[in-house]
Chain A
Amino acid sequence: MTPVTNNFGIERVVLFAFGAVIAVIVLDLFLILLGRAPWGHWVRAWAHRYPVFAAGIALVTGGLVGHFFFAT
């Protein structure tokens, strides 16, 4: 098994991954409650404007999932 000190690194990865999503959700809620367009709508407008870049980011996301969770 790994040394217990490695748990700190795992904690940081968990905090970063989930913390980033929580921050995005809070920002979206805040903007909706202010009556403004949420962050997600702006990102979608950006994706409409630059579809190739958007496809690239989606591919990177899929590649990371495959890299982290799928190997033979």
Chain B
Amino acid sequence: MVALIKNTPAHRYMIASVVGLVASLIVLAYVLVKAVYAIGIANAGLCHDPPSLTGSISQITVVAVCVACFVAGHAVSWAGTRSRSELRDKLGQTAWSARRAVIVVKTALALFLALLSALMALEALMLLVGIWPITYYVRCAAEANTPIAMLGAGIFTFLAGRWFWIPR
């Protein structure tokens, strides 16, 4: 195993990525099981109606953590491009020009945006009909367990910073 680890920046970055991904996977799986279990055994509602925006952690702290995660995502991306110059290339260039993969990436992102649009349309419809919109479920989860909700929001903003705030 030790012999497989080459002492080059690119390889060190790859090892760090794998370790980071495995650690994230373990933490997320634990949080998911814990949250679903807690919801499953609850005998009463988990929040007020409508949900309160004041959880166990202040709003400004949650937003500050999300901003920090966004910047951290960018920093990790910056570190990656320093050790692997091909990560600065655009889709369709050099290593990123495989036709099938390009189509898959573009299709996946288009589907993601379509899903986001559908969820927003559903949100509007739920508001119109007078039933709880998705926002209320998220806010209810945040009121019931703010640290876990903050962790989830932090992960999404970290990924946004890593993928979409690209280093020059």
* CB-defined contacts of B25 to chain A, threshold 8 Å: 22, 25-26, 29
Nearest B-chain residue to A37, judged by Cβ: B95
Q: How large is the interface on B (under 10, 10 to 19, 20 to 34, 35 or more residues)?
A: 35 or more
Q: Is the interface of A mostly helix, strand, loop or mixed?
A: helix
* CB-defined contacts of A29 to chain B, threshold 8 Å: 18, 21-22, 25
A51-66: which residues lie under 8 A (CB-CB) from chain B? 51, 54-55, 57-58, 60-62, 65-66
* CB-defined contacts of A12 to chain B, threshold 8 Å: 137
Decide if B160 touches A57 in the complex (CB within 8 Å).
yes
Q: Does B12 contact A (CB under 8 A)?
A: no
Q: Does B114 contact A (CB under 8 A)?
A: no
Decide if B165 touches A58 in the complex (CB within 8 Å).
yes
Closest 8 A/B residue pairs (Cβ): A2-B45, A49-B91, A45-B96, A1-B45, A49-B90, A54-B164, A58-B164, A45-B91
